[in-house]
Structure 1
């Protein structure tokens, strides 16, 4: 999943404004708002608001105006030092969020999320919300201490996706079962198709070259196959053997 990070600095403010968005168009709108704020604070008469399609040009025009006010010749400035010399900048970075999920919220949305968690913590959860909190009974609800920790991580910006632990059980070269520490879906692809029924094969795309026939199956690891404790014991046995 791609996350778009919008960052802006202001010529009269020491702090940096940052927001996170799951949609590039929404990120462009957020960047446009920052640029228009800069233009309005700098010179609203000669720098009217711009739209989301040309916020980058609007930013450059504002930086040139700032340099002109300071009596600095634009031609004397290296391109890489343009923003630093002007004293402000706005930029959008696309980052890949690895893991099961990613939280992309601005400060206002984050405040609502934390408030909802605190409200959930302070009163008995009604059945409909409990079903959501447990993903239909797949998870054990968070304890008060765990909610405290989650709120702290959210507020501090240290929420990171956890690793997924998956165990594939084989017997005679055949997949007999898959165990995970949370509900997931696993696809098993077997390229050993000798003697297999051609009607049961699929063409699996390859990074390079044509697709290759293979036997493919999907495993839905639901609540029955979720056993984090067993995986922990397996890891301990592997560690002791090593």
Structure 2
């Protein structure tokens, strides 16, 4: 499952503003809202709201005006230096969610989920839906009390994600293996590229929109050693040493 994370740094907000969205279009709308808040705070008279199709251009415009007001000559700055100098920004990242117990839904979608749960609770589940509720017989369906608890947690906020435990094994500064307690995908990014073959490097995007060269490698699901028992023994050894 892909989740689109929208993050913004704002004039009137002390930290980052973050939202999680299950749909890319909804994420663009959330990013547009943040950009329009920036534009309204900066100069609503000359910076009217933008729509979801051009929010990035609207963001660039307000950032350039903001830097000019701070005394920066934006004509002599490229995209990388502009991103580094600005203390306001909005960006969208797509991340893969594996084994999470959290739902990324908007209020309208949440209302439908709650209605479906209450409908499931009030009548006998037909065979086709029972197949879904049990994941093909893997689980026992939720009881009425358990559905009550689930609805309450959905109403009160996001569910707590289940922790993923990952161990990265190094030898001489090189990654020799990765152990996890479930199938996952891990990307290793090494920014120490001195002496590396330029043809083997990739441009890795950074938080502010610029990219820098790095050596990147992937450890796929098939190559990751899944050994929860070994990780438990490792944690016990670390706790004993501490």
How high is the TM-score relative to the length of structure 2?
A: 0.49
TM-score, structure 1 as length reference: 0.49
Higher Cα radius of gyration:
1
